Structure 1
Amino acid sequence: MTVVRDTHEAYGAVFEERGERALPRHFGRPERTHRAVRNAVGVTEHAYGVLVVSGDDRRDFVDNAVTNTVPETDGQGTYALLLDPQAGVRTDMYVYEAGDRLLCFLPPETVGDVAAEWRENVFIEDVEITEATDDFGVFGVHGPNATEKVASVLHGSGAPDAPLSFVRGEIYDHGVTVIRTDSTTGEEGYEVVVGADGASDILDTLITRGLNAAPFGTAVWEALTLEAGTPVYPHDMAGRVPNVLGLRTALDFEKGCYVGQEIVSKVENRGRPSQRLVGLELEGDAEAVPAVGDGLDVRDGERTVGEVTRAAWGESVGAPLAFALVDYGLDAEAVAVPTEDGEREAAVVELPFVVGSDRSARVPRYE
């Protein structure tokens, strides 16, 4: 459950469930709020499950489990993956060093399983793992005016400059942590973390005080990240080898072993994975967005060359958009997508679809 349902309802939210949490799907007229984020600034509540990892061995413990190097310096973070033995993505997460503890932000549907597994794997280490999802509210501020928005309400510190760094300050008499994001929407972005008891005040302040911002929900978030070329969990990522997704920002090939590293390293050393993530632009209006469901094939003539992972209406492009994992060597400019309404032609587009005020760090890179 969102920690600020009443505040969302006051702004007209329609809710959806995700990982036992109710989050706003939209606030009415999502196309309008989509344009507000692209042209100015918008505010959303992010669906994170939160783990607090404390103890003297916390950093080594988490570092040995994930695909990227865990930061040592207070105020710094990293984006990382947790892999299965076949090197498929089990979950993604952000890990922040917060002085005497690590804060791990995960998809809410995975946090319980990860917490249980990590506790089982603690032997003689000085490590304590606490699930703290309900203790925090996390709000995203995204758009070309995001920095001005944060500056208009944040006291005691300036907005952080480096991606995945954070500062501590105060908004509306509440202590907050403000994180510079890795620009998953393709725009400047910040996340404001506050204790649950101050979450309602912070959300209302972010929307109405200083520079006004439009509230938006998961429908607009999914479309923004799609336009920005950002693969997201679980739709594009679950069970996939990270090299196939071009997720180089989540990998440190020089760090110690983690589950599945050998497979990932072999793919890297071959120079090319079996598939790559591309964009598809289809003809039609907002009603023509294909329902992905259990997956849609991508065909080049008589050959099946991949599958669609997710689709949404691209308000900034004015067309239905989709991500597809296709054969790495595919050089077709157009493909076909068989749907319940018949075969649809789609142009193959290199990501991102939209270049905004910043570039998502997760845009696929194949080297």
Structure 2
Amino acid sequence: MLDVFRARSGVVSSDDGVIQHAGNPVLEQRRLIAGTAIAPRADRTVIEVSGPDRRTWLDSITSQALGALQPGDSTELLVLDPQGRIEHTAAVLEDGESIWLLADAGDAPGLAKWLTMMRFRSQVAVAVRDDLAVVGGFRGGEVFDSLVAASVHTGDLPLVWTDPWPQVSAGGWQYAQATDHPGAEYLWAEAIVDADGIVALATAEIAGALATEALRIAAWRPRWAHEVDERAIPHEADWIRTAVHLNKGCYRGQETVAKVHNLGHPPRRLVLLHLDGSENVFPERGDTVFDGEKEAGQITSSARHHELGPIALALVGRRVDGDATLEVLHDGVRVAASQEIIVPADAGSVADVPRLTRLSRRKQAAPPA
């Protein structure tokens, strides 16, 4: 559906059809922030969940409280395994008739299959909507107004998901301790559009994935395609702030979420790395992060930001010194990287939880004189 954008002169796309840039990734970042460009998202897929039980059903099987969603409400959810590890993620938009899930393209087939398997007797239907596409942009400005107008509508309601990041949603919890969160100006939104909507947006300035990823990374915003691996739990990426409701009813993985949050600390923590740009190499996802000669973690995302220069998100071990200057190994070259702490080492609702001494090891009190 997005061929009209990919066919433009100067546009470079990857083999899977994702637009990487439209000629100048740095300028595209600035245009997105200014609200003068949109971002066609071939790396996002639309899933429709319809039926009268959709809200209570999704509420019961995911991390987010969805039972009281109202038309126009935007949030996000996680699907966890029994050990609390992240399996799937999705943006959530309720329109009064259906819940619309926006998922990373690589995650969508698995998410749709799992949801279909979990229907049992619930009155719900799950459908991957290949006839619809996703176009993103920053809120505000004439281009965003055009994006809203071009989106699919349910009655008078435009199907536009508003990213809750980095606000702390009801039932959520903030791990990042930054006084001024860098995501405060990350006013991201994604519109669901059909073929007519694409035509209406055909002449708009566009930005590619290199621009959208740079702005996302700078805002400390995690996503499934990059920050999720086979061990990821929501605490590690500060994802409890927008995707987990700590006080809702039971769901798969809840026990681990509560235990780590209330009684311990996540084993890894997300950091922003400012990379040394003097080397003629650029670290990528999967590259190893070193603290001296010791492996400290892995890069999850990297980009060249229009102001910050080369940056990356990385998951490192909780015990890695927050003041340590790290190095990233790429193609045999070590690139120096300074940390900006996102999730602190003592993340959790209670730090340094006191532990009771075993009764058998307590000293007997001296008898009264």
**Unaligned 5+ residue runs, structure 1?**
157-165, 208-213, 353-364
How has the CA–CA distance of structure 1 residues 179 and 337 changed in structure 2, closer, same or farther, with 3 Å as cutoff?
Answer: closer
2:292 corresponds to 1:296: no
- Residue type at the aligned position of 1:115: A
CA contact under 8 A between 1:167 and 1:179: conserved in structure 2?
no
CA contact under 8 A between 1:136 and 1:199: conserved in structure 2?
no
Give the CA deviation at 1:11: 4.9
2:7 to 5, 9, 15: 9
- For residues 110 and 48 of structure 2, the distance between their equivalents in structure 1, rounded to whole angstroms, comes to 14
| Superimposed CA distance per residue, residues 266-286 of structure 1 (whole angstroms, 9 cap, x where no aligned partner) | 111124212210111121159
Partner of 1:141: 137
2:315 to 312, 325, 339: 325
- Residue type at the aligned position of 1:15: S
- For residues 202 and 53 of structure 1, the distance between their equivalents in structure 2, rounded to whole angstroms, comes to 26
Partner of 1:355: none
Partner of 2:117: 120
TM-score, scaled relative to structure 2: 0.78
Helix, strand or coil for the counterpart of 2:107?
Answer: helix
- For residues 211 and 297 of structure 2, the distance between their equivalents in structure 1, rounded to whole angstroms, comes to 26
- Structure number having the greater strand percentage: 1
RMSD, aligned α-carbons: 3.0
Helix, strand or coil for the counterpart of 1:204?
Answer: coil
1:29 to 1, 20, 24: 24
| Superimposed CA distance per residue, residues 309-329 of structure 1 (whole angstroms, 9 cap, x where no aligned partner) | 2222222213x2111212224
- Residue type at the aligned position of 1:247: W
- For residues 37 and 151 of structure 1, the distance between their equivalents in structure 2, rounded to whole angstroms, comes to 10
- For residues 78 and 223 of structure 2, the distance between their equivalents in structure 1, rounded to whole angstroms, comes to 12
Partner of 2:61: 65
Partner of 2:86: 89
2:248 corresponds to 1:255: yes
| Superimposed CA distance per residue, residues 122-168 of structure 1 (whole angstroms, 9 cap, x where no aligned partner) | 22221122221x222321122xxx41225754798xxxxxxxxx986
- Residue type at the aligned position of 2:25: P
How has the CA–CA distance of structure 1 residues 42 and 285 changed in structure 2, closer, same or farther, with 3 Å as cutoff?
Answer: farther
Give the CA deviation at 1:114: 2.2
Give the CA deviation at 1:17: 4.3
- For residues 255 and 127 of structure 1, the distance between their equivalents in structure 2, rounded to whole angstroms, comes to 21
CA contact under 8 A between 1:289 and 1:321: conserved in structure 2?
no
CA contact under 8 A between 2:35 and 2:140: conserved in structure 1?
no
- Residue type at the aligned position of 2:52: D
Partner of 2:329: 338
- For residues 279 and 155 of structure 1, the distance between their equivalents in structure 2, rounded to whole angstroms, comes to 32
The number of residue pairs the alignment matches comes to 324
- For residues 114 and 221 of structure 1, the distance between their equivalents in structure 2, rounded to whole angstroms, comes to 23
Partner of 1:160: none
CA contact under 8 A between 1:286 and 1:313: conserved in structure 2?
no
Identity %: 26
1:264 to 241, 257, 261: 257
| Superimposed CA distance per residue, residues 277-314 of structure 1 (whole angstroms, 9 cap, x where no aligned partner) | 0111121159532133xx23322233322222222222
- Residue type at the aligned position of 1:220: A
How has the CA–CA distance of structure 1 residues 219 and 311 changed in structure 2, closer, same or farther, with 3 Å as cutoff?
Answer: same
**Unaligned 5+ residue runs, structure 2?**
167-182, 350-369
- For residues 95 and 148 of structure 2, the distance between their equivalents in structure 1, rounded to whole angstroms, comes to 19
Helix, strand or coil for the counterpart of 2:288?
Answer: strand
How has the CA–CA distance of structure 1 residues 323 and 154 changed in structure 2, closer, same or farther, with 3 Å as cutoff?
Answer: closer
- Residue type at the aligned position of 1:43: I
Give the CA deviation at 1:169: 8.2
- Residue type at the aligned position of 1:57: D
Partner of 1:177: 159
CA contact under 8 A between 1:89 and 1:242: conserved in structure 2?
yes
- Residue type at the aligned position of 1:52: E
